[in-house]
Homo-oligomer: A and B are copies of this chain.
Amino acid sequence: MLTLAYLIAITAEAMTGALAAGRRNMDLFGVSLIAFLTALGGGTVRDILLGNFPVNWTQHPQYIYLTIGAGLFTILVAKFLHKLQQLFLVLDAIGLVAFTLIGCNVGQRLGYEPAIVIMAGIITGIFGGILRDVLCNRPPEVLHRELYASVALIVAILYLQLQTFDISEDITLLAAFSVGLLLRMCALRWHWQLPTFSYAPERWQNDNNP
């Protein structure tokens, strides 16, 4: 189930990457690269931070083809996508939750402590989108819109918490997955947001760092 969710996830994330590249008028190569990076960047950052070499996609070239294919396909269907907006947001939410759970799994397999396992889940869930936004030269969206990164945090904590009970791994995964997906959908529907922090001081005298 997680594998299927993963394939949906990287496809959906690749498509969000392609759309972001399109807003910057990138060429076909740029679209492919941003699609690839959005889909596989989170797992790559996680693998590097956890010292988990070789990095996952270098052992699975088919993921490269899938993400680039999804990116180029997006160009063809871009003009219809706004009609599929709801579907798209569901796919993206599946991606977020699946990435997070996979990231937690990898962290646990490597024997890291719970706090690091949670970080591994969050990083896998959100860093693809952050890399996409950095390369497209815009502030990372995942850090100031409807609950997104927070969903990754909650899913990761819930998953670890459920494991401490006497439940099968499958049910644990399914429960964490469902709660995360539901939470994200609710956040989108009712515009749930974390409080934001706005800081705009009169310019400091020595304004060079803070």
Please give the residue numbers on chain A whose beta carbons come within 8 Å of chain B beta carbons, in ascending order.
15-16, 18-31, 33-34, 44, 48-51, 53-55, 58, 61, 64-65, 75, 78, 81-82, 85, 88-89, 92, 112-113, 115-116, 119, 129-130, 134-146, 148-150, 153, 188, 193-202, 204-206, 208-210
Contact = CB atoms under 8 A, between A and B. Distances in A.
Contact of A206 (B21, B33, B85, B144): B85
Contacts of A55: 49-51
Nearest to A201: B82
Contact of A209 (B53, B129, B196, B210): B129
Contacts of A116: 58, 61
A126 B178 CA distance: 40
Contacts of A113: 61
Contacts of A75: 197
A188 B206 CA distance: 7
Contacts of A64: 115, 119
Interface SS majority for chain A: helix
A61 B198 CA distance: 28
Contacts of A58: 49-50, 112, 116, 119
A197 B119 contact: no
B27 A193 contact: yes
A120 to B, nearest CB: 9
A144 B26 contact: yes
Nearest to A123: B33
8 pairs of A and B residues whose beta carbons are closest in the complex: A22-B199, A30-B143, A51-B53, A61-B115, A27-B194, A145-B208, A22-B197, A29-B149
A119 B208 CA distance: 23
A30 B61 contact: no
**Residue of A75, A135, A208, A209 contacting most chain B CB atoms (<10 Å):** A209
Given A19-B210, A199-B78, A206-B188, A130 B139 contact: no
